[in-house]
Chain A
Amino acid sequence: MSDTLTKLDHVRLSPAQVSDLASLLDRGEKSTIYMDTVRGRFAVTLAPAEAALAAPGAESRAVTTTVCAGSVGEFLTSHPQRAALFVTVGQRVQHGDLLALVRTGPLLTPVVFDGVNGRTSRLVRCLAEPGALVGYGTPLFELEC
């Protein structure tokens, strides 16, 4: 639990997200809010105590996750000297797969898929324009597993 709290320490909530959370709490039914951060997508499920106890991890529907840039540079979806894209929309990827590069001067920093509980995931869409300047935490890909 303390580990989860530490990780959440750097998650910013916008006023809109706080307001969403508050209204979800008010409703008293089970609902989920997603937050995209540099550490990936956080899903917070709010539910009345009995509902939460009744279905621990019973969710089987698709979970989406976001892969973000870890440094500043130009977003590249293929190697500068090759035409082939690292990944294409719809493709299945697993933990450790190279998704893109971030180029800063001569430096090419890999963007690697961390994986979600060891499951393969499907690339749903690319969130940044190839060639765009991205910064720390810029969302790059949305995946579903």
Chain B
Amino acid sequence: MFDSVLIANRGEVAVRIMRACAQLRVKTIAVFSEADAEASYLRLADHTVCIGPAPALSSYADGAAILLAAEATGASSIHPGYGFLSENASFAAQVEEAGIVFIGPPSAVVAAMGDKIAAKQAMQAAGVPCVPGSSGALPGDPAALRDLASAIGYPLLVKAAAGGGGRGMRVVTCEQDLGDAVALASKEAVQFFGSPDVYIERYLQGPRHVEIQVVRDSYGNAVWLGERDCSMQRRHQKVLEESPAPHLDRELLVATAERCLIACHEIGYVGVGTFEFLVDQGAFYFIEINTRLQVEHPITEATYGVDLVQAQIRIGAGETLPWEQSDLVACGHAIECRINAEDPDTFMPSPGRITRWDLPGGPYVRVDTHINAGDVVTRHYDALLAKIIVHAPSRPEAIRAMQGALAEFRVEGVSTNISLHQRILADREFLRGGASVHRLERLLAQERGQSLEPAYERHAD
């Protein structure tokens, strides 16, 4: 096992990693920016060091600053958490070159899976079902492009190969709009991701977002730990997740998960990873693989009774997978609500000092947070304050437990989206289970007294 883990992240996930390290008796080194210098969670680390000013590009997302801190503190490994540098292949490569363990897949795998075209080709080769679409870069000849498009079928989605988070995406409903949409998406792709490559695929009208958790060690042992339904999204950002996904064809899920494990072997995947799918008309379509810990990993931990972060660190340290597939049995139903410091109606960030922080508790309830009363929520980073996770014997009991937890939770000093979660938990379509990725946007539009056009919106990261 490592002597120490440097946590190249902040906030909730930094605390999550510190807790896993404490269980493993591994020392933690927390890096922080000037904006977080007074943050209370830093006291949970064994060592702390300031690496830069508030802007993320000069601190948490500055690979050189993180590497200097690792060198200066003698860290034997770096855990990137999620966001910031977690899926940055060149950072992972630099960490490897420095002789430090990057807790995640090898940098070559991070690089290959970061390119959506390459990832899709790798998945198709492993038999993982993908959305029908172009298998590589688009043909430059307009006639060939039109032929390809009609073979896939309209409506189509034009996406940036290096993209994510909904940027560089265009929906095309008819042939006349195709050329312009490709040109525009390509321009956005350059602007946001520095590469003009785009691809096209069938646009699914009302899909759900379902993802499969996998873990593989360096010796070729791999398992999958169920699925998560993350269809409750706003502007491609997940808001509430649950596991298991309601009303899903379990046989098809198992078959798809087994394909994911084959893909893991083919690409040499190591660590925890998530295969994201759109599920439409009962069929699974691969979107992308996230080569890191997911924000919503606790609902899988709850239903399977495991610690994914400990497993991730153990695998990084060269240990074998702590479980076999037959050990892993899910029980009950888990839901996670992401509590953000934001206005529950306008969704504008709400930075400020937390003056009251009364957490919920009791049976079925877990709260992952870095916040204590007196802490300041800065405007420099994402607004995630806490994740409330409930795990109960059944979905209705989990929903009731979450309603109780949200009602108990008292936050003052900043606005939160607690009431948004209460509205979701009261929504008939959510209660029925299996709502599409457009449901939350439609619910919000209804509340504003508007009807939402067929939502040309897609999945979140």
Contact = CB atoms under 8 A, between A and B. Distances in A.
B71 A105 contact: yes
A72 B68 contact: yes
B53 A72 contact: no
Interface string A3-14: 000000010101
Given A10-B53, A133-B49, A135-B50, A74 B72 contact: yes
B51 A135 contact: yes
A115 interface: no
A19 interface: no
B446 interface: no
B26 interface: no
Contacts of A74: 72
A105 B53 CA distance: 22
B158 interface: no
A71 B72 CA distance: 10
Nearest to B98: A105
A16 to B, nearest CB: 11
A32 interface: no
B135 interface: no
A136 B34 contact: yes
A110 interface: no
Contacts of B51: 72, 135-136
A38 B72 contact: no
B90 interface: no
B34 A105 contact: no
A105 B38 contact: no
Contacts, number: 54
Contacts of A14: 38
Contact of B34 (A71, A107, A137): A137
B34 A72 contact: no
Q: Is the interface of A mostly helix, strand, loop or mixed?
A: loop
Contact of B73 (A10, A107, A133): A133
B54 A72 contact: no
B102 to A, nearest CB: 17
Contact of A72 (B35, B37, B65): B65
A135 B35 contact: no
A125 B73 CA distance: 26
Given A12-B35, A136-B34, A105 B50 contact: no
B35 A38 contact: no
A10 B34 CA distance: 8
B50 A12 contact: no
Contacts of A73: 68, 71-72
Contacts of B166: none
A107 B73 CA distance: 14
Given A14-B38, A72-B69, 10 more contacts: A10-B35, A10-B53, A72-B49, A72-B51, A73-B72, A74-B72, A104-B68, A107-B68, A107-B71, A135-B51
Interface of A: 10, 12, 14, 37-38, 71-74, 104-105, 107, 133, 135-138
8 contacts: A10-B53, A12-B35, A38-B34, A72-B49, A72-B65, A72-B72, A107-B68, A137-B53
